[in-house]
Structure 1
Amino acid sequence: MRTEFNDIFNTPENSVFKVVFFPDRVYHAYSLSATRSPRYRYNVQEVRNALDICVMKGEVFLDGAYYSNIIRIEYRAGRLIEGIREKNRYLKDQLQCWVRVLPEDAGNQAEAIVPLHYDPRIDAYYVEIWENLEPPVGSSHDFTVLPLMGYQNEITRLSEFVPALKDLDTLKKVELAFRENAVQIPRGYHIGVDDIVWDNAYMRSHEVPNSPNPSDSANTVKDSNYELTFQRDFLVDANQVEPVRYRNPMMDEGNPDTSDNNIIEMRWLFQRELGGSLVFFHEVTVPAGAVEGTHQHIGTEELYYIVSGSGLAYLGEDDMPGTEQFPTVERWIYGLGPQPCKEVPVSPGHVIFTKSGGIHGIRNPGPEPLKFVAFLYHTA
């Protein structure tokens, strides 16, 4: 066995990972498929997460020698389970995953549908896609691992993915969507094609400055999958990012602040690139006299950090201790109508942190533009 495995694991920086993350995410991966035999070891090189999804890139070693590149997909199916419950059905021991690999060479891009199998050791559905399954010349696979290998098994090989797996450094993105089986396993109940439940980033979208017209639908791109990126660092000059313009954002009919001239700008800096439960990080400019509508967050949390200018923030009347000295005013809450709110002055360096259930909005009485950055994420 290669001694550097243990050397890597015992370094100070990886000792920190043992505390902050699961130890098996460092390199040796106790709960990955082939480790049921001591002949196999994993070198997990990259891990990316989004909500219930975990994708790993790495290598498998057999009898101490490099054997194959792999990607491993894990999915805990929380959203899919909820969708299936609405159909009075239950998720069984297998589901299907649509996966597209996006290496730098567009000619090596490929997609396929593969089954994910439930593993109680990790409480998740998973598949490992290996570049190679043939044993080395003069050797054989371990009898405990061999039953996992093959077409539609837990460890599989997809010929169309081989070009992308040959050089993992160039595999920069993976797109994923998940669905229940067309035939329930093991009961054999057939589900109609139009009735199959998908988790494909339910109702998610991202914003692109395709049009300068305020609130133009061309700026909203609907997502039909999850995207996980393996790029490690990003440097963005926000001044070079074209803003998307919105008329009366977070306002509905009847709000007295609505006006054809009430337009704010958002520079969308990071959206699908973010992992975990993160949704976006963007820069917002509220011109003098403009308003971002007051709204309530359910199931998400958001931070506003005021960069320049000054304004008036509106917070739920009983949402934040220590605001008794500020005036109570009536504000139209998006979707809820008029409600009492606290009117709190904000200026550069102030942070508004709104938890799930909280209310916030902001007005710029002028004379300078008000600019803040906003950071949104799911609470789950």
Structure 2
Amino acid sequence: MDTRFDQVYTHPENEIFRVVFYPDRIYHARYLNATRSSRYRYYVAEVRGSADGTAIKGDVFLGGVKLCSMLRIEYAGIRLIEQAREFGRRLGPRAKAWVKITGEDPDQSGEATVTLHWDPVIAAYAVEIWETLEPPEGTPHDHRVLPLMGRDAPITRVPELSGLLGSVTEVAMAFREHGVLYPTGQQLENPQWDNAYLRSHQEPRDPRPSSSQNTVEDKNYLLDFQRGFFIPDASAITPVSYVNAMSDEDNPDRRPDNIVEMRWLFQRELGSDLVFFHEVTVPPGAVEGTHRHIGSEELYYIVSGTGTAYMSDGDDPTTAGYPLVERPVFGIGPVKCRELPVRPGSVIYTKSGGVHGIRNPYDEPLKFVAFLYHTT
């Protein structure tokens, strides 16, 4: 890690924004496998995370000389624990990860399945994929590190990935049970996966509203190592249209022309548990159906136009003075809601269990941007 960060870490202005240096600083060298010997050092270039998975890319040094590039995968396993528990099983000391690496040339990629080992120091499964396990000529590996090396070991080499470790731009990951029942050693016929479950992302492939062609199933977690993104004009991004979004068949707002547009600005590019950041346009007379969030939170920020938002009565006690109406909530039925006037600068923040929706009864389009993310 660049030691210059230490010099600014305690500056007064950074005390307010201490989050600037998280999470890279927390990966101290002593937590990585080879540092049980002082002969090895790591340079951690970047860290990316999504849900329970983390990818750390960098270089390994032996005796002060660069040995090779490496990629460390860590997986907390919380979601996979729940998958296995449904079958009366618990995870053992090892798990598997499907890993796909894309290099600086987007046409160059490699994929492989690797073994993760439980590491009690970080309370997660982990593996380090090194470009090579061969030491420089005349410089043997340390006896404290050598037993960790080999096929399916905590430090391993994967031929399908070796040539890409020095130029990693994306890492796709999916995790599963090891395939052997713990602790009996029986073979599992149906090892369970944590592969982002039903997560998908949206692409403007078909102009027809609510076309299934616009939904792309992911089946993995994608970690993007690009460091910055610039969109000169978000309005130039082709939107995806949805008809009667989040409205049941018996909802009086359902009609063929009730169409909203969504410009998907960032989806899989986002790390942590963020799901998307997008811009929504609600045309005059259109409605985004009132719906409840379970296990997710969403924030709306109105950027143009005026309209009426709906929030379940009691979700925000300060809204008690606004009109009380009954709204059909997608998949649930009638719910008492507060009717809230919104305009540029208005914010609607809905936590798990909360209800919200929005209507545009006026003559100008209503636009807002939204963040959605999974809760813990």
Q: TM-score range by the shorter chain?
A: over 0.9
Deviation at 1:239, TM superposition (A): 1.3
**What is the distance in 1 between the residues matched to 2:242 and 2:105?**
36
Is the deviation greater in 288-297 or in 316-325? 316-325
Determine if the alignment matches structure 1 residue 205 to structure 2 residue 200: yes
Deviation at 1:108, TM superposition (A): 3.4
Give the AA of the match of 2:306: S
Deviation at 1:106, TM superposition (A): 4.5
Instruction: Label 1:6 to 1:358 Cα distance change in 2 as closer, same or farther (>3 A).
Output: closer
Give the AA of the match of 1:242: T
Instruction: Label 1:27 to 1:296 Cα distance change in 2 as closer, same or farther (>3 A).
Output: closer
Deviation at 1:139, TM superposition (A): 1.1
Give the AA of the match of 2:315: D
Contact 2:23 2:47 in 1 (8 A): no
Question: 5+ unaligned residues in a row in structure 2: which ranges?
Answer: none
Name the residue aligned to 1:280. 276
Name the residue aligned to 2:129. 129
Contact 2:24 2:46 in 1 (8 A): no
Give the AA of the match of 2:206: S
Name the residue aligned to 1:51. 51
Instruction: Label 1:106 to 1:350 Cα distance change in 2 as closer, same or farther (>3 A).
Output: closer
Is the deviation greater in 239-248 or in 16-25? 16-25
Q: Identity rate of aligned residues, in percent?
A: 56
Determine if the alignment matches structure 1 residue 191 to structure 2 residue 181: no
Deviation at 1:98, TM superposition (A): 0.3
**What is the distance in 2 between the residues matched to 1:102 and 1:6?**
25
Contact 1:312 1:346 in 2 (8 A): yes
The equivalent position to 1:264 in structure 2, one of 260, 263, 266, is: 260
* 1:6-25 alignment, distance < 5 Å: 7-8=3-4, 10-13=6-9, 20=19, 25=25
Instruction: Label 1:19 to 1:245 Cα distance change in 2 as closer, same or farther (>3 A).
Output: closer
Instruction: Label 1:285 to 1:24 Cα distance change in 2 as closer, same or farther (>3 A).
Output: closer
Question: 5+ unaligned residues in a row in structure 1: which ranges?
Answer: none
**What is the distance in 2 between the residues matched to 1:99 and 1:23?**
22
Deviation at 1:324, TM superposition (A): 2.2
Determine if the alignment matches structure 1 residue 293 to structure 2 residue 289: yes
Deviation at 1:13, TM superposition (A): 4.3
Determine if the alignment matches structure 1 residue 94 to structure 2 residue 94: yes
Deviation at 1:325, TM superposition (A): 2.0
Contact 1:282 1:374 in 2 (8 A): yes
TM-score by structure 2 length? Answer: 0.94
SS of 1:10's equivalent in the other structure is helix
Contact 2:298 2:373 in 1 (8 A): yes
Instruction: Label 1:23 to 1:350 Cα distance change in 2 as closer, same or farther (>3 A).
Output: closer
Name the residue aligned to 1:229. 224
Q: How many equivalent residue pairs?
A: 371
Give the AA of the match of 1:197: Q
**What is the distance in 2 between the residues matched to 1:40 and 1:14?**
29
The root-mean-square deviation of aligned C-alpha atoms, in Å, is: 1.9
Instruction: Label 1:26 to 1:14 Cα distance change in 2 as closer, same or farther (>3 A).
Output: farther
Contact 1:28 1:42 in 2 (8 A): no
Instruction: Label 1:274 to 1:125 Cα distance change in 2 as closer, same or farther (>3 A).
Output: same
SS of 1:322's equivalent in the other structure is helix
Instruction: Label 1:79 to 1:23 Cα distance change in 2 as closer, same or farther (>3 A).
Output: closer
Contact 1:26 1:44 in 2 (8 A): no
**What is the distance in 2 between the residues matched to 1:22 and 1:74?**
17
Contact 2:314 2:320 in 1 (8 A): no
Determine if the alignment matches structure 1 residue 238 to structure 2 residue 269: no
Give the AA of the match of 1:190: Q
Instruction: Label 1:340 to 1:106 Cα distance change in 2 as closer, same or farther (>3 A).
Output: closer
Name the residue aligned to 1:174. 171
**What is the distance in 2 between the residues matched to 1:376 and 1:259?**
27
**What is the distance in 2 between the residues matched to 1:369 and 1:147?**
65
The equivalent position to 1:303 in structure 2, one of 275, 299, 304, is: 299
